[in-house]
Structure 1
Amino acid sequence: MVSSEPFLDSLPVTPSPKPIALEFFAGGGLARLGLEPWFDVAWANDIDPMKCAAWRANFGAEGLIEGDVATLDGGTIPPSPCLAWASFPCQDLSLAGDRAGLSGRRSGTFFGFMDRLNDLARRGDPAPVVVVENVKGLLNSRQGADFTHLMAALATAGYRAGCLEIDAASFLPHSRPRVFIVAVRRDWPIHPALVSKPGAPNPFLTQAVMHAMDRLPAELQSHRVDWHLPAPDRKPPSLADLVDHGDQTWWTQAKVAQFFTQLSPAHAARLAALQADGGAHIGTMYRRIRTDQGSKHQRAEIRFDGVAGCLRTPAGGSSRQFWIMVEGNNIRIRPINPREAMRLMGVADTYHLPHSTLAGLKIAGDGVAVPVVAWLSQHLLAPLAQAQPRSLHHDARLGPMAERI
């Protein structure tokens, strides 16, 4: 039996002082940008010196611990953390990676994060709310064994959890589907309005998420929560809104001519139709190595659906994404620059980028879309954080929540 009191649909009132958040695998601090309207991101950690330098350039040095999460001194974490955020490395889980899963060197750092969570519990100060973010491949990595292993680790640590799949394309002109596992301590109250009702529309409880959750073993089903998150109520900006018109690094005509030779018949027909239309069109392009009749070829793959392809960490020629502008027979192509990549992640131009192009692209490609974090914070994490047991009977906005799901 749970409370049936109505829940606020509007922005939760942020308490003062804000609840403390921890940003594990912080990168350049993009999760922080989405969290900080509701949380005090008082502590962060990353192992990459370049990313740590970018974090400091934007937020100052205080609270950032540079080093391996597996060997961190848990004593550096401030007392009374309310939220622990972990966007742990995806390379071993991604379809573009080697699919080593959580046993891989990079994605296996998740267990170092769990060690730090357990440190907090041992000192009697566990984080009541945890978010684990990664690529959609986590759901089926090693036939679902990695997802089960992760959920079991959270359950063993005293949490119950649920999963949401959120594509940045709901907020930005950028296709970036990611899974967000939101966990709460088993003694932590959950207002019923934060839980999805059977049969009610929930755009973020996708078929892939429900399949992954449904195949969890029985002992984990008792720790399951199907979270409710409303659909966004704002239309994403257009690609044209994000283009840096001062960047004139357009390809030469010779290079554009070579691009035509790399189009598959289907993509060539798509481009020809746009040219015949006569209007102005903006799209994006990746160059991929594809196998055709037993031979490998570099292919130029274009899209003109108003959404950029998922940004990737720049590790080679196929990881760079390009603008392609078509106006009749006039075709212009150039790489997406770091500032544009950050705009595609929802980052304001006030963010201080590294001087290196590749470093800026890496921060964007390894980051989490800021509006996604903000939406999740506003509609789920902040309400959870405010439901502190010591204040349950004193928050008239939320109604009585002494009864727990």
Structure 2
Amino acid sequence: MRTFYEFFSGGGMARAGLGENWECLFANDFSQKKVDTYIANWGDKDIVCDDVSNITTHQLEGQADLAWASFPCQDLSLAGSGAGLSGERSGTFWGFWKLITSLRRENRAPKVVILENVCGALTSHEGKDFAAICSALNEAEYNFGAIIIDAINFLPQSRPRLFIIATDTSVDLDKSILSESFDPVWHSKSIVSAFNKLPIEQKPKWKWWNLPHPQERRLSFADIIEKDPKSVKWHSEEETQKIMGMMSDLHIKKVRSAQASGDLKVGSIYKRTRPDGHGGRIQRAEIRFDDVAGCLRTPSGGSSRQLIMIVEGSKIRTRLLSTREAARLMGLPEQYKLPEKYNEAYHLAGDGVAVPVVEYLSKNIVEKLIPLSRNRKAA
């Protein structure tokens, strides 16, 4: 059985994606609320609630094959403060990396490290943050490369995320997981640009990871909608009309077109602040009916929580996305136990990594980097 550490674990979505053939040796998150959910689903044997900077190698059992780190993205996202890797939240990457380098000195560093974050990590501080991560990987004797996987390939949610995959230079690389050059499906212009900016001495360690192109997604947004949600209530007609009143003519036209179709249509709505055309700003409700939900986010006020609209002829209903629907949009199984409080459950989902993406990455790259015949059990 392959083994792993899960840092910035949240509710254990990376663990869910890796599956039953992987053994967790250690998990960590700073948020007690997220740790409580982790324990509810996975038990308390592996998880430690603490700042990653306080964790020591003495707490890390054995030698894990994989270290997964979905480190905080707030300082790297377009909506964040722009502080980058020097920020209070995204800067926790360095506390994690200190552990990896300490394990290296103890001759038990993970053979594979995966870093997951928003795509803004590529361009944060004009690319200097991404370059700093690559430099750290290079100095620690890892080969490395980056890909972007959008959860929309597997789930009805638009959620592109950056995955930096690093493997110890001692690991033999299966030719099937490497490409000679970039593949536009997985390597965006931003990735190619970031590679071109790397110092010449680092480029030999860069790998163009190769993934098979995914099959067409079958799951639709309508498929995940609850008929009788327990965590939310339908809006009153007055509340629905208020939301309609926040729409521009373009988005009202989308609603009318959905009505004219005569079919049941499910749309997702986000409230965004837009220019009002008179030098000011106004809050707008923007809807999409492309059978895909907008990217789940962590709720920092009601405006960032996703709404849904059900249109069936002349009948229009609106409400918040339910917590179970949010979990389904992340690929979590129905038996996954969510926090009882709405914002806590929504935050957990919006802050996580999509489960099918982890599964796809694991089966097509990671497991080929860690053959079972070479797997070292925990000490």
TM-score bracket relative to the smaller structure? over 0.9
| 2:86 matches 1:103 | yes
Match of 1:235 in 2: 217
1:267 deviates by 1.2
State the SS of the aligned residue for 2:281.
strand
C-alpha distance after superposition, 1:202-225 (max 9, x if no partner): 621222222222222212212101
In structure 2, what is the Cα distance between the partners aligned to 1:246 and 1:275?
A: 22
Gap change, CA 1:390 and 1:165, over 3 Å in 2: closer
State the SS of the aligned residue for 2:251.
helix
State the SS of the aligned residue for 2:356.
helix
In structure 1, what is the Cα distance between the partners aligned to 2:294 and 2:49?
A: 31
| 2:200 matches 1:222 | no
1:174 deviates by 0.3
1:189 deviates by 1.0
In structure 2, what is the Cα distance between the partners aligned to 1:319 and 1:374?
A: 28
State the SS of the aligned residue for 1:160.
strand
* TM-score, with length taken from structure 2: 0.95
1:277 deviates by 2.4
Question: Is the contact between residue 41 and residue 337 of structure 2 (CA under 8 Å) also seen in structure 1?
Answer: yes
In structure 1, what is the Cα distance between the partners aligned to 2:373 and 2:128?
A: 34
Question: Is the contact between residue 26 and residue 44 of structure 1 (CA under 8 Å) also seen in structure 2?
Answer: yes
| 2:261 matches 1:268 | no
C-alpha distance after superposition, 1:6-62 (max 9, x if no partner): xxxxxxxxxxxx121000000000110001344212210011000000000101000
Question: Is the contact between residue 2 and residue 372 of structure 2 (CA under 8 Å) also seen in structure 1?
Answer: no
Which residue identity does 2:241 align to in structure 1? Answer: A
Which residue identity does 1:222 align to in structure 2? Answer: P
1:317 deviates by 1.6
| 2:271 matches 1:287 | yes
Which residue identity does 1:23 align to in structure 2? Answer: E
In structure 2, what is the Cα distance between the partners aligned to 1:342 and 1:286?
A: 18
In structure 2, what is the Cα distance between the partners aligned to 1:37 and 1:206?
A: 32
State the SS of the aligned residue for 2:79.
coil
1:387 deviates by 7.5
Which residue identity does 2:115 align to in structure 1? Answer: V
Gap change, CA 1:234 and 1:276, over 3 Å in 2: closer
C-alpha distance after superposition, 1:328-386 (max 9, x if no partner): 22111000111110000000110011111111111101000000000000000011011
The residue correspondences of 1:198-347 to structure 2 (distance < 5 A) are 198=181, 203-233=185-215, 235-247=217-229, 249-293=233-277, 294-347=279-332
In structure 1, what is the Cα distance between the partners aligned to 2:153 and 2:268?
A: 18
In structure 2, what is the Cα distance between the partners aligned to 1:172 and 1:72?
A: 34
State the SS of the aligned residue for 1:20.
strand
In structure 1, what is the Cα distance between the partners aligned to 2:244 and 2:45?
A: 51
Question: Is the contact between residue 165 and residue 205 of structure 1 (CA under 8 Å) also seen in structure 2?
Answer: yes
In structure 2, what is the Cα distance between the partners aligned to 1:236 and 1:336?
A: 21
1:275 deviates by 2.0
Unaligned runs of 5+ in 2: none
Match of 1:71 among 37, 41, 54: 54
C-alpha distance after superposition, 1:248-306 (max 9, x if no partner): 71111111111122111211222222222222211100111222232121100000111
Gap change, CA 1:219 and 1:173, over 3 Å in 2: same
Question: Is the contact between residue 2 and residue 375 of structure 2 (CA under 8 Å) also seen in structure 1?
Answer: no
In structure 2, what is the Cα distance between the partners aligned to 1:309 and 1:237?
A: 15
Gap change, CA 1:390 and 1:265, over 3 Å in 2: closer
Match of 1:130 in 2: 113
In structure 2, what is the Cα distance between the partners aligned to 1:169 and 1:303?
A: 15
State the SS of the aligned residue for 1:219.
coil
Name which of structure 1's ranges 82-91 and 239-248 shifts more when overlaid on structure 2. Answer: 239-248
In structure 1, what is the Cα distance between the partners aligned to 2:280 and 2:184?
A: 44
4+ runs deviating over 3 angstroms: 387-391
In structure 1, what is the Cα distance between the partners aligned to 2:155 and 2:167?
A: 29
Which residue identity does 2:272 align to in structure 1? Answer: R
Which residue identity does 1:77 align to in structure 2? Answer: L
In structure 2, what is the Cα distance between the partners aligned to 1:355 and 1:78?
A: 32
State the SS of the aligned residue for 1:342.
helix
Question: Is the contact between residue 149 and residue 163 of structure 2 (CA under 8 Å) also seen in structure 1?
Answer: yes
Q: Indicate the percent of aligned positions where both proteins have the same amino acid.
A: 41
Report how many residues are paired: 373
In structure 2, what is the Cα distance between the partners aligned to 1:251 and 1:308?
A: 19
